[in-house]
Chains A and B, each alone.
Chain A
Amino acid sequence: MKPEFFTLLRSPAIWLVLAFAATMPLWLPPYYLGIGVLTLIYIAMALSWNIVGGLGGQISLAHSLFLGVGAVFTSALLLKFGINMWVGMLISAALAAIMGVGIAWVDFRFKLGHLSFALITLAFAEIGELVVLGWDFLGGASGLYLPSDKGDLLAFQFGGAKGYFWLALVIAAGCFLVNFAIINSPLGYYLRAIRDNENAAQAVGVALLRNKAIAMAISAALTAIIGTAYARYVAFVDPYLFASPAVVIEVVLIATIGGLGTPFGPMVAALLLVPFGELIRGNFGGVAPGLHYLVYGVLIVVVILSMPRGLVPRIMDVMARRRAS
Chain B
Amino acid sequence: MPVEHSQPILSVKGVSKRFGGLMAVSEVGFDVAKGEILAIIGPNGAGKTTLFGLISGFIRPDMGSVRLKGHEIVGMAPHKIVRMGLTRSFQIVQVFADMTVLEAVTAAALVRKPMREAVRKAEEVLERIGLSAIRNESPASLSLQDKKMLEVAKCVATDPELILLDEVMAGLTLAEAELPLAIIRDLRDSGITFVMVEHVMPIVMKTADRLLVLNFGQKIADAPPAEILSNQAVRDAYFGEEMPHA
A positions within 8 Å CB-CB of B: 1-3, 184-186, 189-190, 192-193, 195-197, 199-208, 261
B115 within 8 A of A: yes
Asked if A197 and B79 sit within 8 Å, CB to CB, the answer is no
Contact-size category for B: 35 or more
Given the contacts A1-B115, A200-B96, A190 and B107 also touching, CB distance less than 8 Å:
yes
Determine the residue in chain A with the shortest Cβ distance to B113: A186
Pick from A3, A206, A261: contact of B79, CB under 8 Å: A206
Q: Are B87 and A205 in contact (CB under 8 A)?
A: yes
Q: Which of B97-105, B173-181, B196-204 sits within the interface?
A: B97-105
Beta-carbon nearest neighbor of A197 in chain B: B94
Q: B98, A203: Cβ atoms under 8 Å?
A: no
Q: Does B78 contact A (CB under 8 A)?
A: yes
Name which of B89, B94, B97, B112 has the most chain A CB atoms within 10 A of its CB.
B94
- Residues in B with CB closer than 8 Å to A206 are 79, 107, 111
Are B79 and A193 in contact, with the CB atoms below 8 A? no
B79 in contact with A207 (CB, 8 Å): yes
Note all chain A residues with C-beta closer than 8 A to B116: 2-3
A203 touches B56 (CB 8 A): yes
Distance of A199 Cα from B79 Cα, bound (Å): 10
User: Can you name the residue of chain A whose Cβ is closest to the Cβ of B99?
Assistant: A192
Contact B99 A190 (CB under 8 A): no
Cross-chain contact B119 with A204 (CB below 8 angstroms) = no
Name A208's closest neighbour in chain B (CB-CB).
Answer: B79
Given A2-B115, A2-B119, A185-B115, A204:B107 Cβ within 8 A: yes
Q: Which residues of A contact B118 (CB under 8 A)?
A: 186
In the complex formed, the residue of A with least CB distance to B108 is A204
Contacts A204-B154, A206-B79 given; does A199 touch B107 at CB 8 Å:
no
Give residues 58-91 of B contacting A (CB, 8 Å): 58, 77-80, 82-83, 87-90
Tell me whether B95 and A196 are in contact (CB under 8 A).
yes
Q: Tell me which residues across on chain B come within 8 A of A208, comparing CB atoms.
A: 79
9 A-B pairs with the lowest CB-CB distances in the bound complex, closest first: A205-B111, A200-B94, A205-B82, A204-B108, A196-B96, A202-B78, A189-B107, A193-B107, A207-B79
- Contact of B99 (CB < 8 Å), options: A3, A193, A202: A193
Q: Which interface residue of B77, B89, B98, B99 has the most chain A CB atoms within 10 A?
A: B98
B54 contacts which chain A residues (CB < 8 A)?
none
A184 to B115, CA, bound (A): 9
Residue of B nearest to A261 (CB): B98
For residue A195, which residues in chain B have a CB less than 8 angstroms away from its CB?
98
A199 interface neighbour in B82, B94, B104, B106, Cβ under 8 Å: B94
Chain B residues 131-186 with CB under 8 Å of chain A are: 154-155, 157-158
Q: Return B161 CB to nearest CB of chain A, in Å.
A: 13
A202 surroundings in chain B (CB, below 8 A) = 58, 77-79, 82
Residues of B within 8 A of A205 (CB): 79, 82-83, 87, 108, 110-112, 158
Residues of B within 8 A of A190 (CB): 107, 110
* A-chain residues with CB within 8 Å of residue B79 when the two chains form the complex: 202, 205-208
Q: From A192, A207, A261, give the contact of B107 (CB < 8 A).
A: A192
A260's nearest neighbour on chain B, judged by CB, is B98
State in angstroms the CA–CA spacing of A199 and B59 once bound together: 11
Contact indicator A200/B95 (Cβ below 8 Å): yes
Q: In the bound complex, do residue B157 and residue A196 qualify as a contact, i.e. CB atoms below 8 Å apart?
A: no
Please give me the residue from chain B that is nearest to A198 by CB atom.
B94
Known: A2-B116, A193-B96. Is A200-B90 also a contact (CB below 8 A)?
yes
Closest to B89 in A: A203
Given known A189-B103, A204-B157, A205-B158, contact A197–B115 (CB-CB < 8 A): no
With both beta carbons as reference points, the residue of chain A lying nearest to B139 in the complex is identified as A196
Task: Give me 9 other A-B pairs in contact (C-beta within 8 A), A204-B87, A207-B79 excluded.
Answer: A2-B119, A197-B95, A202-B79, A203-B154, A204-B107, A205-B79, A205-B87, A205-B108, A207-B77
Alpha-carbon gap, A186 to B108, bound state (A) = 10
User: In whole angstroms, what is the CA distance A205 to B156 when docked?
Assistant: 12
- CA of A200 to CA of B154, assembled, Å: 9
Contacting pair B96 A199 (CB below 8 A): no
